[in-house]
Structure formats: C-alpha cells, structure tokens
C-alpha cells in the first residue's frame, strides 16, 4: 500500500511542496507554485524523472493544489492520494507546542494568531481549507515554526514592556525556525553520542537567520522574537535595532509605520548594508573582489552572529556542540571559520580541512577534546512528514 505524505508550505503568493514516500523517507518530488492569484501563476515540479513547468489557468489556492495533486499522479510520482498532508504553519502562538491533527478548533486558533503573523498565517489557513474542501478524506496535520520554542521560560520570552500587553495581546517572544532547530539539535546529539544531558547551540543561517540554545532536547532561548525580524542580521531583515529608530525615521523621513516595517524587513540586512544583494554567495563574491560595503555587510553579519551566540551560550550549563545549518550554515566555509576562530571563548577547535568539505561523514568540522562544531543539513519538510505520519 502506498505511504505517500505531501508536505505543503503555503505563502502569500506561493506554495512550496514535497512528496515523501514514508516507507523509505525518500523525497519523490518537490516543487513550487508561484505568482498565485495572478494571471501568471505557474508550477515547477522536480523529481528523479526531471523538471516540469506548467502554466496555471486558475491560480487560486484550491485550483493550484488540485493541479499539484493531479500532476503528481499523472506523472506517476504517486499511485494513490497521499495518506496525509502536512502543513507548515509559521505562528502557533501559545496554543501549540507540538504538531496536531487539523480540526475546526485548530483552524480557529491559527486564525487567532493572524495578528502575530499577518502575512503567513492567512496563507496557511487558505492552504488547509482548500485541501479540506478538495480531499476531506485525507487527514491533515499542522506543524508550527514556533512550537519548539514554547519551552522558553518567561524570563527569556517576556519583553520589558507593561505586562498587560502580554496578557491582552500576547506581546512576547515566540521564536521561529523551530522545526529546523529541533531537527538539527537532536540529529547533532545523536551523531555525537551526547546522550540525554547536553547543551547545544544551533545556528540556522538561510535567507532568514536565527540561533537557539538547547538544553537536554529543550529550547531555552532563541534569537527571533514576536516576529521573525528580531535577532540576527539576515538577507533583507535588519535583526535587532533600537526600538527608538521607528520614531526617529518617522520624524526625519516622514515614513509611516508600514514604510519603516517594509524597510526593516525587505531592504535591510546583507542587502541594505552591501547594496549588492541579499544572497550570501553574491555578497561574499563582491567582498572578495574588493567591494568595501559588501565586506562591511559580512563584518556586521558575523559580528552580530558571534554576539548572539555568546549571549545564548550563557543559557547553557555546558557547551557540547555548535550546529550550523541553512544555506549559509551548510555551505559558507568562511562564515563557520570566522565564527569558530573568533569565538575562542567557546573552546571549539576548527579542523580547517574538514571545514573545507563541509564536515566529515557525520558533519563534524572540529578537532580536539573541546566542544564540537558540526554541519547538519536541515530537513524541515521531512520533519513535517514524520510528524504527520506519527499522528495518523
């Protein structure tokens, strides 16, 4: 019997998807539907059989999801409908600390979290509701980006603002990329034989970047906050700024709150400082060619990363491992080398040769008896598929 699980990540104008055969956990296909709700909607599907590109006649969520399922079937990538559908949901607020089966109550709670993730949660709801109306017989599971961070203690999640704002509106730190932090920390503990008692720092460095401190499998602090804007410098996001900046920019430039938020989310970070790109490869290449602003962007990126990791290390009873993941963490040798070589305080000794090859067969890039550094490729989609399988 088929054991396919489809994982869906619904964005405001796109849907990413992956199809897993859970008998072997092999990814049979993956793809992206883009420019949804416009006349230019299109789908790209990749599999062992090659790459397929389709124009969408109708590109609302429901029609798009139907085309995805029909095309996967027609292409022989699945012989029956999936046994479950797993949805990535960005914000679960304080409602969810684990994956759950979708019910009317779950959808209602995801909707209640819309003010906390106004761009992401409505898309997730649209994806779930469309799937439900198309295939009511297929169980659906939601996995939340915030869930792993629900173990943060109040001292780590509260902001220094009136407590009523937390009580009334849920103003607090939630953290994101939880599925990735959970997967790479547990994988590192397993590969390094750390046992149940461990202290791990995880650095998820992609277009969005965040770090976490994990003690005995539980997250105790993380760098993203109420929204994904807090913390590290990212591709286009500023990370931490002085909260007074908003008033200053409003006064000096006449920018509205929306304009300031847009600048901090879309025009800052590596892109904003370098003026070159939000993409680490391009910024590294430009710096290599002598572009000073690109070098400055790298310096700020690395300095802030080190500073945040240092802060998170203070949450650990001991440091056993530092884990790198995400496009930058998995591939940028210079980022890993810079962090490990400048943060002598962590006591990690870099193995230059292993770092060049992105680690040995386990991903390890350090040597000696001190804490280990390890590269673990993130597998958020597989984690969602596993969660779905566990719940059906």
Q: Name the residue nearer to ligand ADP (CB basis): 68 or 287.
A: 287
| 280 is a contact residue toward ligand ADP (CB under 6 A) | yes
Q: Which of 175, 235, 272, 363 binds ligand ADP (CB under 6 A)?
A: 235
CA–CA distance, 205 with 281 (Å, rounded to integer): 13
By CB under 6 A, name the one of 286, 328, 338, 340 that touches ligand ADP. Answer: 328
Asked whether 213 and 315 are in contact (CB, 8 A), the reply is yes
Does 327 bind ligand ADP (CB under 6 A)? Our answer is yes
Provide the 3-class DSSP secondary structure of residue 307. helix
d(CA 22, CA 385): 8
- Spatial separation of the C-alpha atoms in residues 300 and 263, rounded to whole Å: 18
Report if residue 208 touches ligand ADP, rule: CB under 6 A. yes
Query: Catalytic residue at 299?
Result: no
Decide if residue 326 touches ligand ADP (CB under 6 A): yes
Q: Using DSSP, state whether 219 is helix, strand or coil.
A: strand
76 is in an annotated binding site: no
175 is in an annotated binding site: no
Q: Is 307 annotated as a binding residue?
A: no
According to DSSP H, which parts of 230-351 are helical?
Answer: 245-253, 257-266, 269-274, 280-288, 292-313, 326-331, 333-342
CA distance 346 to 147: 28
User: Nearest residue to ligand ADP, using CB?
Assistant: 327
Q: Is residue 206 within the footprint of ligand ADP (CB under 6 A)?
A: yes
317 and 339 Cβ atoms separated by less than 8 Å: no
Instruction: Write down the catalytic residue from 79, 98, 105, 145.
Output: 145
Tell me: does residue 281 bind ligand ADP (CB under 6 A): yes
Q: Which is nearer to ligand ADP, 235 or 239 (CB)?
A: 235
**Looking at beta carbons only, is 78 or 143 nearer to ligand ADP?**
143
Residues 181, 216: contact at Cβ < 8 Å? Answer: no
Q: Which stretch binds ligand ADP (CB under 6 A): 78-86, 159-167, 215-223, 328-336?
A: 328-336
Nearer to ligand ADP, 140 or 325 (CB): 325
Rounded-to-5 percentages of helix, strand, coil across the chain: 40, 20, 40
By the criterion CB under 6 A, which residues form the site for ligand ADP? 206-208, 235, 279-281, 284, 326-328, 331-332
Binding residue numbers? 9, 16, 88, 204-208, 279-281, 327-331, 380
The catalytic site residues sit at 145
């Amino acid at each position: 019997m088929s054991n396919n699980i489809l994982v869906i990540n619904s964005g405001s104008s796109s849907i990413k998807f992956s199809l897993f055969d859970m008998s072997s956990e092999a990814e049979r296909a993956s793809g992206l539907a883009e420019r949804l709700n416009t006349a230019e909607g299109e789908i790209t599907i990749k599999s062992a059989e090659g790459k397929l590109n389709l124009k969408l006649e109708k590109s609302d969520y429901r029609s798009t999801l139907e085309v995805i399922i029909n095309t996967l079937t027609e292409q022989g990538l699945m012989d029956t409908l999936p046994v479950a559908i797993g949805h990535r949901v960005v914000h679960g607020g304080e409602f969810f600390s684990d994956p759950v089966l979708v019910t009317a109550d779950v959808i209602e709670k995801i909707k209640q979290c819309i003010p906390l993730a106004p761009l992401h949660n409505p898309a997730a709801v649209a994806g779930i509701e469309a799937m439900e109306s198309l295939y009511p017989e297929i169980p659906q599971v939601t996995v939340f980006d915030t869930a792993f961070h629900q173990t943060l203690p109040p001292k780590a999640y509260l902001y220094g603002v009136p407590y009523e704002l937390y009580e009334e509106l849920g103003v607090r730190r939630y953290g994101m990329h939880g599925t990735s932090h959970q997967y790479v920390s547990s994988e590192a503990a397993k590969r390094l034989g750390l046992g149940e008692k461990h202290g791990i720092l995880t650095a998820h460095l992609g277009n969005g970047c965040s770090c976490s401190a994990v003690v005995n499998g539980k997250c105790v602090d993380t760098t993203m906050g109420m929204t994904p804007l807090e913390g590290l410098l990212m591709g286009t996001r500023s990370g931490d700024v002085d909260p007074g900046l908003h008033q200053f920019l409003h006064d000096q430039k006449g920018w509205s709150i929306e304009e300031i938020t847009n600048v901090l989310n879309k025009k800052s970070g590596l892109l904003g400082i370098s003026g070159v790109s939000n993409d680490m490869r391009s910024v590294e290449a430009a710096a290599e060619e002598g572009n000073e602003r690109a070098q400055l962007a790298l310096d700020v990126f690395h300095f802030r990363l080190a500073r945040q990791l240092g802060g998170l290390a203070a949450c650990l009873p001991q440091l056993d491992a530092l884990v790198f993941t995400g496009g930058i963490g998995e591939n940028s040798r210079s980022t890993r080398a810079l962090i490990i070589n400048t943060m002598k305080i962590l006591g990690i000794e870099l193995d230059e040769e292993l770092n060049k090859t992105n680690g040995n067969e386990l991903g390890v890039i350090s040597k000696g008896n001190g804490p280990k550094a390890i590269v673990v490729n993130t597998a958020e989609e597989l984690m969602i598929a596993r969660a779905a399988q566990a719940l059906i």
